[in-house]
Structure 1
Amino acid sequence: MYDLNELKTFVSVMETGNLKDSAQALGVSKSTLSRRINHLETVLNQPLLRRQANRLIANEAGLQFLPFAKKMLAIADDGLKAVEDLKGEVTGKLTVYVHNILIRGWFSNRMFEFLDKYPGVNMEVKTGNNVSQGSSANDVSIWVGKPTDEGLKAEKIGQLTQGVYASPRYLEERGEFTHPSELNQCAWVDMIKNDENSICLDNEKEGRVCFSVPDSRLIVDQFTLHVDAMIRGNGVGILPHYLVDMRARHHADSLVNCLPDWRADPMPVYIQYPYGHLPKKLQVLINYLKEESQHFY
């Protein structure tokens, strides 16, 4: 008989290639993982892994056994979910992937409130801004921007409006802006550029104005780095008003809206989850997050 913990250990080691990373991922010691692997190999009556340099690599038996181990774990997980759903209680584990721009100020508060309300729930939270990470491996994904995984149901729950920001220090040295046409003459702190390499701003009287993004000495894919660079006076950039307002609660006047009458294109916020029947715990979480999305603007 296979022990589920031993199967989880084997699959994890196959993914990481070493006991150290698997021990951290599973929250147990390396010696415990080593014992699990040894016991599984004893049950199967043959070795599954071999050591090469500092890595553990599957032998032929390990490669053959891996898909069956994954299938057994998936079946066990499905069985647990089915039993939990029959109880009609909000209990069990939930895996949530959240875009990093929403973690501080929004999701962190929602997470603690949800766990306080449903003490039978365990939650694993993953963060990032790589769309491939918000995959079907998670129960729920909260994504900023257009979702790309067609295998998941996607519902738009809000949007983050944006504007042009800079630090007071930069504006003191460079001078105030009066029109978007001036932006291509200044230093620019940019997120990873879009395909068109341009930005458009809207104004109620003048309509829509688009311009090429100036060359930037700093292009980042993290909003935290984006904000830090702008606060240091490295240039101007587009930021969600929500993110700036969250920062202003602790660091007032660190960023200034350079063109308050002009709006950048908003970033949509989506919630993604599997199609079909959902367990009660997942239904409750989805409905809760939808209700709390009123914080977006």
Structure 2
Amino acid sequence: MYDLKALDIFNSVLRHGSQTATAREFGLPKSTVSRRLKDLESQVGHQLLRRDANRMIPTEAGLVFEKYSRAILELTEDNREALSELSQEVSGDLTLHVHEGLIRGWFAKQMTHFIARYPHVKITLRTDTALPALDGKDTVCIWLGPVPEEVRLRQETLGRLTRGLFAHPDYLAHRGMPRHPRELSHHRWVDLLGDSGDGLILRHSREGKHCVTLPKSQIKVDRIALQGDAIVSGHGIGLLPHWIVKKRSHYHPGTLVPCLPEWHAAPLAVRLLHPDTPLPRRSLAFIEHIRAAIPADWAPTTSMHGAMSEANGEFQVPNPRFNVA
């Protein structure tokens, strides 16, 4: 039986190309790393690594052995997880992808609560502005906004964020408050990248919908936080979720003023996504934790009148494919 620690060290050297970096990763003396590799080569009966310039690279035998060493480590991890499942223990590695607009405040707080409750779970957190590919059973995503139809993932709608128009009071004092959506064409616009390039549809409870042709945005950003910063700096009017504005205004009151408050854009759905495969206990525990932590002021996922479509601003009955019981 191969020494599993030596297999870990061998694969680390392949990743880093350096025994020094591997020693740093494992917190071991470099001499210990070198000795464990030599012992492994003796056990295998072949030289596995050689130096090429300033990097350690695999020999021909090392390339062959790498495949089998990874298989051994993966099988060992699967065995550990299976035994953990039997013992009812929530543990292991969990990768979370979270839309950047949700990461501050609410999600950071919920992640802190989760790891305090499950101290044996190790989380890798990635923030995204584009929907990532989820290719592992231990990967969960919380997404804000549309999900392409071709995405084949299990999806659950957690809530919807209503949106309105906002500007800084100094900008409005200088340029004036718009009284109707048609007047937006005479204002400067701060666009979230790709959000309103084809125009903006606003809806009024009595006047119906109005399609606005927006001026070309002088500033386009790819993060909601940066869009809010640009609006607060007086660069123009922008479309923001009410929930995010409420959180921001708590710390910076008076910096965002609603414009045309009776007009609203289509809400953005907050969705939970994960591969459509049996999930490990840690993923299920996290999903249950998030379900119980949905903010009360997120719009409900359904209503007797249906929900506003993200694509065109029309009121429609939600697609049941996106609502998983």
Q: Deviations over 1:176-200 (max 9, x none)?
A: 1111111122211111125962221
Does residue 212 in structure 1 map to residue 220 in structure 2?
no
CA distance in 2, matches of 1:14, 1:193: 40
Q: Say which one has the larger Rg.
A: 2
How many residue pairs get matched? 295
Q: Is the 8 A contact 1:134 1:143 kept in 2?
A: no
Aligned alpha-carbon RMSD (Å): 3.2
CA distance in 2, matches of 1:280, 1:67: 28
Q: Is the 8 A contact 2:158 2:272 kept in 1?
A: yes
- Give SS of 2:294's match: helix
Q: Is the 8 A contact 2:138 2:280 kept in 1?
A: no
Amino acid at match of 2:71: K
CA distance in 1, matches of 2:129, 2:280: 27
Q: Which residue of 2 aligns with 1:242?
A: 243
Q: Which residue of 2 aligns with 1:147?
A: 147
* Cα distance, 1:271–1:51 mapped onto 2, change above 3 Å: farther
* Cα distance, 1:27–1:109 mapped onto 2, change above 3 Å: farther
Q: Is the 8 A contact 2:189 2:217 kept in 1?
A: yes
CA distance in 1, matches of 2:129, 2:118: 28
- Give SS of 1:293's match: coil
> What are structure 1's unaligned runs of at least 5 residues?
none
Does residue 283 in structure 1 map to residue 284 in structure 2?
yes
TM-score by length of 1: 0.83
Residue 74 of structure 1: how far off its partner (Å): 2.9
- Give SS of 1:249's match: helix
Q: Is the 8 A contact 2:138 2:279 kept in 1?
A: no
Fraction of identical pairs, as percent: 35
TM-score by length of 2: 0.76
The more displaced of 43-52 and 174-183 is: 43-52
CA distance in 1, matches of 2:240, 2:32: 45
Residue 104 of structure 1: how far off its partner (Å): 1.2
CA distance in 2, matches of 1:239, 1:107: 18
Does residue 116 in structure 1 map to residue 116 in structure 2?
yes
* Cα distance, 1:272–1:164 mapped onto 2, change above 3 Å: same
The more displaced of 196-205 and 141-150 is: 141-150
CA distance in 1, matches of 2:227, 2:38: 48
Amino acid at match of 1:204: S
CA distance in 2, matches of 1:15, 1:195: 42
CA distance in 1, matches of 2:258, 2:21: 44
> What are structure 2's unaligned runs of at least 5 residues?
300-325
Q: Which residue of 1 aligns with 2:175?
A: 174
* Cα distance, 1:46–1:251 mapped onto 2, change above 3 Å: same
Q: Deviations over 1:215-268 (max 9, x none)?
A: 122211112211111111111111111111111121111111112111111111
CA distance in 1, matches of 2:23, 2:219: 37
Amino acid at match of 2:193: I
CA distance in 2, matches of 1:121, 1:67: 27
Q: Is the 8 A contact 1:49 1:58 kept in 2?
A: yes
